Amino acid sequence: MIDQYTIQNIADILNQRVAEVRNGRTHAVELYAYLYELEKLVKESKDDIQGLAFEEVEQYGKQGLDYGDYKMTAVQTTRWVYKDAELDRYKALMKARQDLMKQSAKIMGGLADQYGEEIPPAEPRMTQSIKMEYRR
């Protein structure tokens, strides 16, 4: 059984590894790949027992239960799926407008639509990530 003491040990080990990277004793890529793999394993395990854990927590009703430093409550949400030709048409129009706004951001002076109205430029937001692909 994993308990708080074990979790603290894991946190300590990870903090040590991060310190090693910051101090130049370990390559950042090495730790990043290790954490990526660890994250996948944890997610797979969590996904595997999620249904069982939900059933356990659900037994406590709306008040949920306290577990360590956490309050656990079973929450079920509804995701709506819309299948509608008219909605698809609006989505296509929106996509076309977004493409024009991207173009407007790239062109000095911007763009105008067929009515002479200025098309506001889209604002780029950059993010950084590392793409990880499994090689066999």
Average pLDDT of the segment spanning 24-42: 96
Indicate whether 124 belongs to any domain: no
pLDDT digits over 53-109, tens only? Answer: 999 999 999 999 998 889 999 999 999 999 999 999 999 999 999 999 999 999 988
- What residues make up the domain containing 115? 85-119
- Is there a domain that residue 16 lies in? yes
- Pair 58, 22 in one domain: yes
Regarding whether 100 and 50 lie in a shared domain, the answer is no
Q: Indicate the burial class of 86 (C-beta count within 10 angstroms; 0-12, 13-18, 19 or more).
A: exposed
Do 62 and 24 fall into the same domain? yes
In a domain, 115, yes or no: yes
Please say if the pLDDT value at position 2 is more than 80. no
Of residues 134, 103, 125, 104, the one with CA closest to residue 40 = 134
Q: How confident is the model at residue 1, as a pLDDT? A: 64
Domain count, the chain: 2
User: Sorting pLDDT into bands at 50, 70 and 90, what band is 133?
Assistant: confident
The pTM assigned to this predicted structure is 0.72
